[in-house]
Chain A
Amino acid sequence: MTDSLAPVEESIAEVPPPSRGGGVVRYLLAKVGGAVMSVLMVVVLGFFLFRVMPGDPVSIMTRGRPVSGAQLEALRAQHGFDKPLLVQFWNYLVGLVHGDFGQSYAFNAPAGVIIGERLGPTLLLTGTATVLAAALGLWLGAKTGWHRNGPLDRGSSGVALVFWSIPPWWLGVVLLMIAGGVFPTGGMQSPDSPAAFFPHALDVAHHMVLPVFTLVLALYGQYQLVMRASLLEEMNSDYLTTARAKGLRDDLVRRRHALPNALLPTATLVFLHLGMVVSGAITVEAVYSWPGLGQLTAEALASKDLPLLQGIFIVLVIAVVVMNLFADLLLRVLDPRVRAS
């Protein structure tokens, strides 16, 4: 059977799939380039979107105060609103390149500086909450998916669904009523917060308990459900049967073979979501008067503070785009198949 094959065997051997090409650098450049393009588009969109919103910025600035027409004209000239839209856009772009987001009307300070001050607390709050929620959600998802229809699955999957569907601010209000006496309910630190690092950190941590807990409850549910679903997808895979046939213990089959594959879609989701969490914490920050971007957004919206809103808009979008980029890069690390294509 094989003898007659021998002479041409080499020439007709199967062609293996093309090896990984392109290289890491090229891939990185393409991805980063794409991300930069997205940010640019958003800058353009952001500028014109806020221009077509109803309401004259100058009359908002002077709201409630008696002003003459000449004063309004002067304000317009000062902020450049009298110039053609394209010129305004050009000035705006030039400003952005120099890190200048414009002057906030409400705070009467550079928007960039204000956003910078608020970015830290938001990152601290949402970062902590996301890490905890992801850890809890992925762990529960892996457990419940593996022991599908077990007691843990029946109980916790329902609970996860409930928490996921409750609006976070409502959850915040309820928690505030229940545990308001035990933990601080507003702000990031006490008025008399100690200056030394560790006591200060402890004070901040104390203030973080309730908002973080609220966010974790609001976030972990979908991580659990997605992890559970993607593990269930893998449950009937043939390679798990192979692993069992090799004599692996059940939890080794899960940890070594099922989880790495089930994590692929989930990890992407967690990172994608991370970008969104920054803006998603608006209502929770408002409930706990957390001095972060979310609260700032609410204030800027209320006072129609155009430069500030534009600035926040861009920062939030950059967060989403950057996390998206991270998700792509992470998937490339986790999944060898992505490296090849």
Chain B
Amino acid sequence: MTPVLELRDLRVTYAGGHAAVRGVDLTLLPGQTLGLAGESGCGKSSLAMSVLRLLPKDAQVSGEILLDGEDTRAMSWGRLRAVRWASASIVFQGAMHALNPVRRVGTQIAEPMRLHASLPEDQVEARVAQLLAQVELPPEKARAYPHELSGGQKQRVMIAMALACGPRLVIADEPTTALDVIVQAQVLALVTRLVAEQGIGLVMISHDLSVLGSVCERLAVMYEGQVVELGSAPTVVHDPQHAHTKALAAAFPTVGDPASRYAPATTNPAGVPPKVVPRAGEPLLRTQALRVDFRQRGGGWMRAVNDVSLEVGRGEIVALVGQSGSGKTTLARTVLGLQQPSGGQVLYDGRPLPRGSRGLREYRREAQLVLQDPTSALNPRHTVYEAVAEGLRIHRMPGDERELVAAALEAAELRPAGRYMPVLPHRLSGGQRQRVVIAGALALRPRLLVADEPVASLDASVRGEILALLLRLRAELGLAALVITHDLGLAWNIADRVAVMYRGELVEVGEVEQVLLAPRHEYTQSLLAALPEVAPVT
């Protein structure tokens, strides 16, 4: 049987000499599924793009890329265009941007069919409806524009589009990265079903081993442009051999595994501090029957936060989990005084939040925000020093500015601080950037951190380091934190208590062990059930 895809000693080198892929051999038989795991920059996306020769012009590709036995590197442009999408199609990462915003999705799904003339024109529309039905979308969605669809729906449209010409190979590049746990589970189930039904070869790329393990038969782990481990999915996930695979597997903890409770994977010599029991007494932050309403277009009100009473004790880490649209970010904004509640109140240190701008400023010094994406949270033209010093200046913190900045950088474990001060953000890694954001918050000596998905945009190996840093800050400075996330593993890693939010309401609040191991509310149960599972080694 001819493999659908065979790579022989594939190498990709970018202008400037950066070798993204350094000699990869892989074989995929028809109907097989292969997962390609690795961190950003390991070359997995370059590999995927090289299959259909979609790399930028400055990339040098050598070796053999056999698609159904035919080398795509040797194809003429005309032949290559004929092969693209008809033989192999791609589901791109972040369907948000991979769809043309000004064209209807039906037209975009139909485009490759019309182009490759795989169907007579009068059947195209029916086929689009059929494809949409396959990805469980109603046929009238064909007339929708991308912005009218949710993230999961867009990803379904991408999958429908990939199947349009009946390809023998589908390459899915991080198909679920931006999605919620539950939507991710739905999309993964869909991919698994369609690939099995239609006997398509699948190469799926992700940084999340458990996602790959739940869909693919085999896993290949890439590190610095090479495949360092290749084997059956359960073996690679449960019994990793290579050090890098071990790190990847440890980064996303299994909920319920006592070894990872209060112990995010970290290689930092400072390690993980012993568990700190939060002091009892009056909580640092308390919301009382908080309500937030938004006026909707065309009249009516939408209740984003409904009757939420939540407490964060001194030195306590509380995880607020829920899927997008559940109101958790609105709750965080209200807690920080960025959004006026429609009812109820927020108490900080036993007193209601000040309303005046002066009082709010003082409060915001004590309650600092850490955002999801450190790249966009930092001004690209401000040095690390400027980024950290800005808050000091706004709040006119007493003391020597340089010393305070240095102390904050040290606290965020950017050592020696002097080396980082003159650096611009783009010279830093993702993890270092997030440390700069945290340093900016720490410089003001806050008592509460509100962190919105603090590690969602970071690589697996960095994720553990940042989480361990949060734990150490709590142990050393007594910092309390409200961490907003859709990642239950994060809650298992560092939180003392979990609050589950669903449609604006808190449906379950309690100790981490109690909520995650013995969930009472149906929604919490379905959140846990949606976590990808890898079959045990057979």
Instruction: Determine if A245 and B102 form an interchain contact, defined as CB atoms under 8 angstroms apart.
Output: no
13 contacts between A and B (CB under 8 A): A1-B189, A12-B523, A15-B150, A16-B149, A21-B298, A239-B98, A242-B92, A242-B98, A243-B111, A246-B84, A261-B100, A264-B102, A340-B148
Partner of B323 from the list A12, A20, A239 (CB cut-off 8 Å) is A12
CB–CB A16/B102 < 8 A: no
Q: Is A82 engaged at the interface, CB distance under 8 Å to the other chain?
A: no
- Indicate which residue in B99, B150, B502 contacts A17 across the interface (CB closer than 8 Å): B150
Rounded to whole Å, the gap between the CB of A284 and the closest CB of chain B is: 36
Among B52, B81, B150, point to the contact of A249 (Cβ < 8 A): B81
Cα-based distance from A21 to B299 in the complex (angstroms)? 10
For B66-107 the 0/1 string (1 means CB < 8 A from A) is 000000000000001111111001101110011111110000
Contact B152 A14 (CB under 8 A): yes
Q: Is the CB of A17 within 8 A of B148?
A: yes
A72 within 8 A of B: no
Partner of B115, one of A248, A264, A335: A248
For the complex, is A33 an interface residue (Cβ under 8 Å from B)? no
Q: Chain B contact residues (Cβ within 8 angstroms of A): what range?
A: 35 or more
How far in angstroms is the closest Cβ of chain A from B526?
A: 5
B376 interface residue, CB < 8 Å from A? no
B172 interfacial contact with A, CB 8 Å: no
CB distance from B45 to the nearest CB of A (A): 11
Residues of B within 8 A of A249 (CB): 81
Q: Tell which of B177-185, B227-235, B265-273 binds the partner.
A: B177-185
- Which residues of chain B come closer than 8 Å to A15, judged between CB atoms? 150, 325
Write the residues of chain B forming the contact surface with A, with a CB cutoff of 8 angstroms: 49, 52, 54, 80-86, 89-90, 92-94, 97-103, 111-112, 115-116, 145, 147-153, 161, 180, 182-183, 185-186, 188-189, 214, 296-298, 323-325, 502, 522-523, 525-526, 529-530, 532-533
Closest chain A residue, CB of each to CB of B179? A14
Report the separation of the CA atoms of residues A257 and B99 in the bound assembly, to the nearest whole angstrom: 10
Q: Check A245 against B150 for contact (C-beta < 8 Å).
A: no
Of listed A22, A238, A243, A340, residue having the most chain B CB within 10 A:
A238
Contacting pair B145 A7 (CB below 8 A): no
Inter-chain CA distance A20–B54, complex, in Å, is 36
Complex CA gap A21/B296 in Å reads 10
How many A residues, CB 8 Å from partner? 38
- Against B, the Cβ 8 Å flags (1 = close, 0 = not) of A251-285 are 00000010011001000000000000000000000
Q: Is the CB of B103 within 8 A of A260?
A: yes
Do B145 and A337 touch across chains, with their CB atoms under 8 A apart? yes
B99 → A minimal CB distance (Å): 6
B185 touches A1 (CB 8 A): yes
A5-B529, A239-B97, A245-B54 known; A19 vs B148 contact (CB < 8 Å): yes
Q: In the complex, A257 Cα to B107 Cα: how many Å?
A: 12
- Contact at A14–B180, with CB atoms within 8 Å? yes
- Which of A5, A244, A340 is packed against the most chain B CB atoms within 10 Å? A5
Q: Which of A21, A22, A260, A340 contacts B102 (CB 8 A)?
A: A260
A18 located at the interface, meaning its Cβ lies under 8 Å from any Cβ of chain B in the complex = yes
Q: Which of A12, A239, A241 contacts B526 (CB 8 A)?
A: A12
Q: Is the CB of B297 within 8 A of A16?
A: no
Please name the 9 residue pairs, one residue from A and one from B, whose CB atoms are nearest each other, closest first: A247-B84, A21-B298, A4-B529, A238-B97, A336-B145, A14-B150, A21-B297, A247-B81, A246-B112
Decide if B151 touches A1 in the complex (CB within 8 Å). Answer: no
Q: How far is the CB of A34 from chain B (nearest CB, A)?
A: 18
- Are A241 and B54 closer than 8 Å at their CB atoms? yes
A5-B529, A239-B99 known; 10 new pairs, CB 8 Å cut-off, are A14-B150, A14-B180, A14-B323, A239-B97, A244-B54, A247-B80, A247-B82, A247-B85, A260-B102, A337-B102
Q: Which residues of B contact A7 (CB under 8 A)?
A: 522
Cα-based distance from A10 to B235 in the complex (angstroms) = 35
Contact A247 B86 (CB under 8 A): yes
A70: interface (CB < 8 Å): no
Docked complex: A1-42 residues within 8 A CB-CB of B: 1-2, 4-5, 7-9, 12, 14-22
Contacts of B188 in A (CB 8 A): 1
Tell me whether B112 and A1 are in contact (CB under 8 A).
no
Q: How far is the CB of B93 from chain A (nearest CB, A)?
A: 8
B308 → chain A, closest Cβ, in Å? 18
- Which of B102, B153, B189, B532 is within 8 Å of A14, CB to CB? B153
Q: Is residue A108 contacting chain B, with contact meaning CB distance below 8 A?
A: no
Q: Could you tell me the distance in whole angstroms from the C-beta of A99 to the nearest C-beta in chain B?
A: 39
A16 to B54, CA, bound (A): 32
**Which of the residues B103, B297, B529 comes within 8 Å of A1, measured between beta carbons?**
B529
Which residue of chain A has the shortest Cβ distance to B192 in the bound complex? A1
A78 at the interface (CB under 8 A from B): no
Q: A2, A237, A264, A335: which has the most chain B beta carbons within 10 Å?
A: A2
Q: Which residues of B contact A264 (CB under 8 A)?
A: 102
Min CB gap B447→A, angstroms: 35
Q: Are B532 and A1 in contact (CB under 8 A)?
A: yes
CA distance A21 to B298 in the complex (A): 6
CB neighbours (8 Å) of A44 from chain B are none
Contact of B111 among A5, A12, A246, A334 (CB under 8 A): A246
Known: A238-B92, A246-B112. A336 touches B147 (CB 8 A): yes
Q: Which residue of A lies closest to B152 (CB)?
A: A14
B-side contacts of A19, CB under 8 Å: 148
Known: A12-B523, A16-B153. A340 touches B147 (CB 8 A): yes
Q: What is the bound-complex CA distance between A243 and B115, given in angstroms?
A: 11
Residues of the A chain whose Cβ atoms lie less than 8 Å from the Cβ of B115: 246-248
- The CA-CA distance from A337 to B149 in the complex, in Å, is 12
Complexed CA–CA distance, A247 and B100 (Å): 16
The reply to whether B99 and A242 contact each other, CB–CB distance below 8 Å, is yes
Whether A4 touches B525, Cβ cut-off 8 Å, given contacts A237-B97, A242-B92, A260-B102, is yes
When chains A and B are docked, how far (Å) is the Cα of A8 from the Cα of B80?
45
| Cα–Cα, bound, A94→B54 (Å) | 67
Q: Is the CB of A261 within 8 A of B149?
A: no
User: B298 CB to closest chain A CB, in angstroms?
Assistant: 4
Q: Report B-chain residues with C-beta under 8 Å of the C-beta of A8.
A: 522-523, 526
Most buried by A among B93, B115, B148: B148
B98 touches A5 (CB 8 A): no
Least CB distance, B356 to chain A, in whole angstroms: 33
Question: Do A241 and B92 contact each other (CB < 8 Å), given the known contacts A17-B148, A336-B145?
Answer: yes
Q: Are B83 and A247 in contact (CB under 8 A)?
A: yes
Q: Which residues of chain B are near A21, meaning CB under 8 Å?
A: 296-298
How far apart sit A337 and B325, CA to CA, in the bound complex (Å)? 20
Q: Would you give the shortest CB distance from A3 to chain B, in whole angstroms?
A: 8
